Structure 1
Amino acid sequence: MSTIADIRKEYILETLDEKGAETNAIRQFDKWWEEATASKIEEVNAMTLATATPNGIPSARIVLLKGYDDDGFVFFTNYESNKGKDLAANPNACLVFFWKELERQVRVEGRVEKVSNEESDAYFFSRPQGSQVGAWASPQSSIIEGREVIEANVLKYSRQFEAQPLQRPAHWGGYRLKPQLIEFWQGRESRLHDRLQYTLQSDYNWKIERLAP
């Protein structure tokens, strides 16, 4: 049997250089996003969200990108979850996309802020009803005695909202990470990867620098 240390892959699909890269980081993300979605990658919008407490204790989990534009990258969650508590105390965060089929990663650093109530409402009511009820039923990240707690809550809120209109819970909504730095990583042979780092300047232009692999 091979050991964990023996697991390796050579990256040979693409290259990334300054001449072919967009001058704007969001436009470069556009290009890679379109190629990723065209590649039929399953859950192409899955991304790691890393947060930290005020004391610097890190935490990371997978969340789903639900939109992006020049203002930032949007995701939705329970504001009272562990990540919500982290972001309330320390709004600095990082996102990482890994598209292994394209041998690419994108890392995004920035500060996070809540989206408007209107934006949260619009997305909440676009979700399947089961997911809407689930947002009420789950005290996300809290310790519970067993699965039956969630099942009982689902039944409770399903019955409640048969008698009254379903609303978005105040503890659930969206965040937008406003990027200050975006790194594009393209796998290359012998671990000599291409890495281009975009840093947002005070004039809102992006400075591009190559990082050693």
Structure 2
Amino acid sequence: MQRVMSQKEQPDGQACQLVAVAVDKDKSSHAAFRWALDNVVTKGQTLTLIHVNTKSGHGDDARDVFVPFRCFCTRKDVYNKDVILEDTDVAKAIIGFVADAAIEKLVVGSSSSRGGFVRSFRNSDISTNIYKGVPDFCTVYLIHKGKVSSMKNAVRPAPAFSRLQKQIQGLSSVRPDSLDHSHKNDMKDRNFLMPSEAAFAPRNLQKEDELIK
């Protein structure tokens, strides 16, 4: 059973920040994910993976997006929490989630060295909207080919209460097969779906490794 540490149990006895990565099937988001693992999360921490599903009725396809990321979290001893946001406006969905969940660090893949967002969204304004729109308590990193292309530091602390952090802590005492999936929409105002059944599925590390290359 996967156990998620609470913040008080994190390394050095310090509370770890809530870190999220926007993910998709695009190579840019894979590079951003790997950068986040190497630079902004530590062993035992939980990394939140955010995917915006812009096509209604494609829930299974949306959940499949997370598959190749899990083996890398396992290798780094990092826990992953999968989030599916249902919205046709990608930037608005991510900004809203960051605000609701009190995310303190957000990592976004860029297909351009000037900070363009992942190519699959086909909208050069998305990264700019995210960059400008996230709350000022969140540090934003735009990653291009494994390097930071743009960064905006937080200017104030995040809210002390986070519903996402409460969920992460709660998973430590809940058996995977006892999760009440009828409560997936506990943040209905943002169509926040958590956790997916696949998050606790047996892992084929070799296969997933090949998918993310």
Give the alignment's TM-score, normalised by structure 2: 0.27
- More helix as a share of residues: 2
Give the alignment's TM-score, normalised by structure 1: 0.27
